[in-house]
Structure 1
Amino acid sequence: MAGNGNSGRKRKPTQLKLVDGQHYRLNERKNEPVAMGELSDAPGHFNDQQRAIWVYAIQHAPRGLLKASDGPVLETWCIALCLHRKATEMVNSTPVIIKTANGTPIQSPWLSVLNKQAIVMRSLVSELGFSPAARARISLADEEEADPLAHYFGE
């Protein structure tokens, strides 16, 4: 299972390997897939708040990073953020401890929603390049450059 990418450290992007001087390892990546197509319009089933989050994410994501195949991941992140915001509003406006019909005190169900959506969002920010740590691992080549090494070697 060592080569399936499901265990251990995440693979470093090829561009970052170039910057780190690991040119000797580039042959390992010669068949690395390149995603095509840009993301643009939000899914048709989104509500206004989800659509606004989508537009904001597209406008503020690292330029050239998100591609059409990333749409479902971004969709999940947008929905999670929307639900997280709603749960935050409810936690802020209702008691954290409530009583059931028989008088037993329990945690507000909104806290569970809040925490679950935070976990979903946290797992996706790395995939989407939405955190400082994720962006530190990303290096995007200029689209006009025919030779990706030219950027690093001034050729």
Structure 2
Amino acid sequence: MPERPAHLGPEACAEWDRVTAILESQRIITKADRAALAAFCVAYGRWVEAELKVREQGMIVRSPKQGTPIQNPYLSIANNAMAQAMKMAPEFGMTPSSRSRLQSYPGYSSAEKVPESPVSKYLTVLPGGRR
């Protein structure tokens, strides 16, 4: 498993720990993935931090100069960071559709046989894959 980069903030660190545990258990991640995963975690951490500011301040704030209502600048930061994170998420199988296309690293066979249920020999497969 890659070592967590020192430059990650608290939210990014928490996401790194969460995601690497999952990816390691699925045998998806290698040391070569460190930079890409760090970029995902930085974007995720930035998204969370900006969302907290939006929740605290609201989506509309007062302009510092004129005092007129404007969109909270943190909303743009949150939206951009979320878009960056979601662009990288499929690379690690973090979306439902991307998981089906993900392959584990060499040395692990994703085609390993899953033990058959004792009940399965009594089930008949119908046309269309239904039982």
Compute the displacement of 1:109 (Å): 0.3
TM-score (norm 1): 0.62
RMSD: 2.5
How does the TM-score come out when normalised to structure 2? Answer: 0.72
Partner of 2:70: 106
Gaps of 5+ in 2: 114-131
1:59 matched residue in structure 2? 21
Pairing partner for 2:96 from 132, 135, 146: 132
Work out whether residues 88 and 114 of structure 1, in 8 Å CA contact, stay in contact via their aligned partners in 2. yes
**Across the two proteins, how many residue pairs are aligned to each other?**
111
CA positional deviation for 1:144 = 6.1
* Equivalent position of 2:107 in the other structure: 143
Which runs of 5 or more residues in structure 1 are unaligned? 1-38
Deviations 1:26-55 (A, max 9, x none): xxxxxxxxxxxxx33201222343222211
The percent of aligned pairs where both chains have the same amino acid is 23
1:76 paired with 2:42, answer no
Question: Counterpart amino acid of 1:74?
Answer: L
Distance 1:78 1:137, change over 3 A: same
Conserved 8 A contact 1:97-1:106:
yes
Q: How far apart are 1:141 and its partner, in Å?
A: 7.4
